[in-house]
Structure 1
Amino acid sequence: MKSPAISENEFQILAETFLNKVFNRIKSKEFVIEPHWDIDHLCFRVETDGEYEAYRDTLSGLGDLLTEMKVNGRPIATFELHTPIHYKTWLIKLIELPAPKKGKVVKTGFEHLEMVVDISLEDLSKRYTDLDWDKSGLEKTFNPELELELGDFAIKFHNLSLKSVINFENRPKMAILVSELNLLEIFKDHQPFIAGTVPLAVDLPSADLDLLVSFTDVAEFKDMCQQTFTMLPEFEISQSEISKIQYCLCRFDYRGIPVEIFCSLLSTFKQNGYLHFNSEEKILKYAPATWTQQILDLKGKGLKTEPAFAHLLQSGEVDAYQYILDLQRKPIQELRSILRSSLN
């Protein structure tokens, strides 16, 4: 099949038309998109395998292929556009192109958008109990999803961006560690989230794996870790308080990689570890592409992650950790303005 001839402007118009339909529909349902939530990527479906190959070639001319993997027996390609799609305050850089599933009938075109939110997906569904939610994706252990069905299109919500997922999968040692230790399965009922520098691709060779979890009883977390990881090298557990909230940290090494599991009574998505991560994820998306390497260079000179970000943001003599935390809930438009100011 011949590749469709689509220019950047035409693709932008197709995307904008689709997004207008989605936003008009959610407005009619009184669903509120928080201004600091980010549209992560769009999904473009095709009807046939031939169309998949054709649109794959077309998108290769509009962007760079980041990954193409088989999922449930069919390939899914992800592209990073040379020119992002501009919509309202957002820039959308990634396009997901799945080959068709056998037995599923779809129309060729944009089908859904995916959005990164900073609350638990269970809490999000409870905000709008009368909406048509597909909760089957909550069973995924890595980057679960909650889908809001809107007729012939949908919105999928995540706590982690697709770019961060790809970054993590491109670090096989870390992915193997998580798989072999069954970390996400062990803590499945406790909002496990892989945070830290690895999914952001600002990790040095000595980087550890950071996992955030939430327990209602810190003693239960300690018992679980002692039963599961106590035989591993450098195993230790420490307990303390931050702002009168108990937390517990379990450390050990596996295959020479340091692992830290941070447990708090707070929901994972209210913990500073997640909020820092979410803030930095958005900063790296909207900042110049060179910032990833600049962060790595600064870290190579001895700076910690948050001070390295704060340095590039020209934040001055402030608490870098609090500064990055303060940026987390800034509306996307304001965050982009802060980033532009830092470049002057």
Structure 2
Amino acid sequence: MPTLDELLGEPHHFLAELELGLLDHGLPPALGPMDHICYRAADPQEYLRLRSALARFGDCLVEGMIGNRPIITFRLHQPLASSFGPIPCIELAAPKAGKQHRHGLEHGEIVVNNLQQLLADYPWIPFNTRGLQGHPPELTLALPPYQVKFHHHSLADTIALEIARGEVIPVPADYWLKDSGKPSKSSTDLM
């Protein structure tokens, strides 16, 4: 059975790269807690394989459709240790149909008190501000090939709110049939 490190492909190297990227831009890694990291699957088969494997390491908070593809979030039984503090969650994103992307660990998200204050305190940082209009609002800092995103609330808190408001779009029961020819466990089977 592979370890979590083996499944994710060197998360400590990834986190060290994020820390160095922040420091290179003049940002302290202690801006706030990193609440999760995200892994982008290469293809539907890798998503399904990792979804099953990650269930050994954490509890499913939600699986739903975001951006026309499934994303699942696990609260880890044992948070990942990092210079950003313990990281309690991992997000696994299925690939978007027809879009090329790098697979593997892709971004980490840091919770800060105020996004506008972050912009004011660090005016020289090339934040992507397009996400400020999103729900929930976010700032993104590209650290190629990775990125760090900044939010007001943790992903777990955002998920709890979305579930309470009935905003989660379930993965259609037949979503994986087109790729594998057989049904897989639904998101409700993992919760």
TM over 0.5: yes
* 1:42 to partner: Cα distance: 0.4
- 1:112 and 2:86 correspond: no
Q: Which amino acid aligns with 2:162?
A: E
In 1, the alpha carbon distance for the partners of 2:102 and 2:50 equals: 14
Deviations 1:36-82 (A, max 9, x none): x1111001111211111111111112211110011121111001111
Q: Which amino acid aligns with 2:164?
A: R
Asked whether the equivalents of residues 146 and 156 of structure 1 are also in contact (C-alpha less than 8 Å), the reply is: yes
For the residue of structure 2 that corresponds to 1:16, the secondary structure is helix
Q: Report % sequence identity.
A: 33
Q: Which amino acid aligns with 2:122?
A: Y
In 1, the alpha carbon distance for the partners of 2:109 and 2:15 equals: 11
Q: Which amino acid aligns with 1:76?
A: I
In 2, the alpha carbon distance for the partners of 1:41 and 1:70 equals: 18
For the residue of structure 2 that corresponds to 1:170, the secondary structure is helix
Asked whether the equivalents of residues 47 and 105 of structure 1 are also in contact (C-alpha less than 8 Å), the reply is: no
- 1:162 and 2:162 correspond: no
Question: Given the two structures, how large is their TM-score scaled by the length of structure 1?
Answer: 0.45
Return closer, same or farther for 1:172/1:30 CA change in 2, 3 Å cut-off.
Answer: closer
Q: Which amino acid aligns with 1:146?
A: L
In 1, the alpha carbon distance for the partners of 2:151 and 2:65 equals: 21
List runs of 5+ in structure 1 lacking aligned partners: 176-344
For the residue of structure 2 that corresponds to 1:114, the secondary structure is strand
1:180 counterpart residue number? none
1:32 counterpart residue number? 28
Q: Which amino acid aligns with 1:51?
A: E
Look at both structures and tell me which one has the larger radius of gyration over its CA atoms.
1
* 1:161 to partner: Cα distance: 0.8
Structure 1's consecutive aligned runs of 4 or more residues displaced over 4 angstroms after TM superposition are none
For the residue of structure 2 that corresponds to 1:118, the secondary structure is coil
1:288 counterpart residue number? none
- 1:132 and 2:126 correspond: yes
Deviations 1:175-205 (A, max 9, x none): 7xxxxxxxxxxxxxxxxxxxxxxxxxxxxxx
- Quote the RMSD (CA, aligned, Å): 2.1
In 2, the alpha carbon distance for the partners of 1:75 and 1:12 equals: 18
Counterparts of residues 59-208 of structure 1 (less than 5 Å)? 59-88=54-83, 90-119=85-114, 121-140=115-134, 142-172=135-165
* 1:107 to partner: Cα distance: 2.5
Asked whether the equivalents of residues 138 and 144 of structure 1 are also in contact (C-alpha less than 8 Å), the reply is: yes
In 2, the alpha carbon distance for the partners of 1:123 and 1:7 equals: 39
1:266 counterpart residue number? none
Return closer, same or farther for 1:89/1:18 CA change in 2, 3 Å cut-off.
Answer: closer
Aligned residues: 167
Deviations 1:118-176 (A, max 9, x none): 12x13322333333322111111x32111011111011000011111111122237x7x
Question: Given the two structures, how large is their TM-score scaled by the length of structure 2?
Answer: 0.79
In 1, the alpha carbon distance for the partners of 2:88 and 2:81 equals: 9
Return closer, same or farther for 1:100/1:123 CA change in 2, 3 Å cut-off.
Answer: same
Asked whether the equivalents of residues 29 and 83 of structure 2 are also in contact (C-alpha less than 8 Å), the reply is: no
In 1, the alpha carbon distance for the partners of 2:4 and 2:72 equals: 18
Deviations 1:261-280 (A, max 9, x none): xxxxxxxxxxxxxxxxxxxx
* 1:34 to partner: Cα distance: 3.6
In 1, the alpha carbon distance for the partners of 2:19 and 2:10 equals: 15
Return closer, same or farther for 1:108/1:134 CA change in 2, 3 Å cut-off.
Answer: same
Deviations 1:200-250 (A, max 9, x none): xxxxxxxxxxxxxxxxxxxxxxxxxxxxxxxxxxxxxxxxxxxxxxxxxxx
Deviations 1:88-144 (A, max 9, x none): 36111100111111333223211110010012x13322333333322111111x321
For the residue of structure 1 that corresponds to 2:52, the secondary structure is helix
